Structure 1
Amino acid sequence: MSQSDPGAQLRISEIFFSIQGETRRIGLPTVFIRLTGCPLRCTYCDTSYAFSGGENMGISEILGRVAEYAPRYVCVTGGEPLAQKNCLLLLGALCDAGYEVSLETGGALDIGAVDARVMRVMDIKTPASGEVEKNRWGNLALLTPHDEIKFVLCDESDYRWAREIMSQHRLAEKCEVTFSPAQGSLDATQLAEWILRDRLAVRMQVQLHKVLWPNEAGR
């Protein structure tokens, strides 16, 4: 169990209720807590508005906002949530409150202290993301079957690179792996054909929320 400080503050970009568009929980009604700030600048980032701004909120206030939606699932995202040290307290408090909690992290920061009850969804940044050098490879040893790995792919070179990383680190044996096309950069059907051709043990995924609400940033 966590030892959460209900008065601990975090910088929050937004809290909203929507359909989970990614991960094994795709399609499920979910409350999203988007934290402000990110140390990365990926070429395909679609939430750059969360790099700054937002408002300071205490954990008890955040829990109150979440409870208004009476959800089962809560996703803590960003930006990069782990860039705020009190994110760890928030994750524990959400688990203590009985929610099924997931964390979306860019993989550049240590995930080792994240509450074991949280499903960690960790990006591995590809060359075309512009942030491949920021990958914290030590995180791979911390992943369990409860977690997920995500590659966002911009082109065929990214695909080949991700395929090699999967083989080199035996990622499919650690947890579920998702390949997603970067919107506007890689055709989803093309990616699906490569996956089938190479018989990769990955989940092919498009962002459902962008299909449902194509003109609403961040939703």
Structure 2
Amino acid sequence: MQLNLAPEHQHRLAPLANKPAGQLLIHEIYRSIQGESTYAGLPCVFVRLTTCNVRCVWCDTPHAFKEGALLSFEDVLQKVLEYNCPLVELTGGEPLLQEEAFELMSQLADRGKKVLLETSGTVPVDQVDRRVCIIMDLKCPDSGECDSNLFANLDHLKPTDEIKFVIASRRDFEWTVETIRKHQLDRRFEVLLSVVHDKVKPVQLVDWLLDSQLQVRMQLQMHKYIWDPKQRGV
């Protein structure tokens, strides 16, 4: 996949440089409670793929930038199916950086799984199986990656897909409101607003949201209230 990365950022994709075709670089596979999106609270199998093309300053999974093990496509599929769980999410890192992720989602959907894709919004989604529910970020200014947003992706999303804004400041919230209204996102998709865990208090976001008159959904990262926010595999 060709990405418009600045030369000084090319190293971000280095972990994938020698990855054999037909294998995936996997950070972890585990079953837990879905902590975000409209599927929050449901048991879910998470397939976290290694490597990301962006570096949000508040990222809570930087360990997924480089850490991982190569697994064959068949092994990944088998490990997921062994959990016998109806809901599966591909996340990262950025899962769409690995071409095999597209076929993995299709194979899981073929087997009757409800498949979710959590993606940064900085990589094209037009080749994602239409049966997959895409949960796509739009990066706010304080992420440091606002310029990486690929707004062309909006034309490839379905009404059942979800758009997520992660808010670290009042500036982020105002940008979010402007972006929602400019692109009529609240009329086209499910829109999710969440806070950066240690930057904005949830009650602040509630107040801002109510004052804005927007009819969009605030969410909390449920897993960060159940477990230590730094705990992995949950």
TM-score bin (small chain): over 0.9
Consecutive aligned runs of 4 or more in structure 1 exceeding 3 Å deviation: none
- The match for 1:216 is 231
1:111 corresponds to which residue?
Answer: 125
Counterpart pick for 2:74 among 60, 67, 75: 60
Q: Specify the alignment match of 2:96 in structure 1.
A: 82
**SS of structure 2 residue aligned to 1:179:** strand
Cα deviation digits, residues 93-125 of structure 1 (max 9, x gap): 111121100000000010000000000000000
1:23-60 alpha-carbon deviations (Å, 9 max, x no partner): 11000000000000000000110100000121111221
Aligned length: 213
Partner Cα distance (1:139, 1:67) in 2: 30
Aligned-residue CA RMSD in angstroms?
A: 1.1
SS at the partner of 1:140? helix
1:49 matches 2:63: yes
CA contact (8 A) 1:80 1:106 kept: yes
Whether the 8 Å contact between 1:46 and 1:218 is mirrored in structure 2 is no
1:1-219 aligned at under 5 Å gives the runs 8-214=22-228, 215-217=230-232, 219=234
* Stretch moving more, 52-61 or 68-77: 52-61
Structure-2 residue corresponding to 1:3: none
- Whole-Å separation in 2 of the counterparts to 1:84 and 1:63: 15
Give how far 1:144 is off: 1.3
CA distance in 2, matches of 1:70, 1:199: 42
Q: Kindly, what percent of the aligned residue pairs are identical?
A: 43
TM-score (ref. length: structure 1): 0.95
Query: What is the TM-score normalised by the length of structure 2?
Result: 0.89
Moved more, 88-97 or 118-127: 88-97
Distance (Å, rounded) in 1 between the aligned partners of 2:195 and 2:232: 17
Give ranges in structure 2 of 5+ residues lacking alignment: 1-20
User: How far apart in 1 are the matches of 2:134 and 2:157?
Assistant: 8
Give per-residue Cα distances to partners, 1:152-185, cap 9 Å, x unaligned. Answer: 0000000000000000000011110000001101
Q: Answer whether contact 1:19 1:30 (CA < 8 A) is retained.
A: yes
Deviations along 1:126-165, one digit per CA (max 9) or x if unpaired, are: 0000000000010011111110000000000000000000
| Structure 1 segments unaligned to the other structure (5+ residues) | 1-6
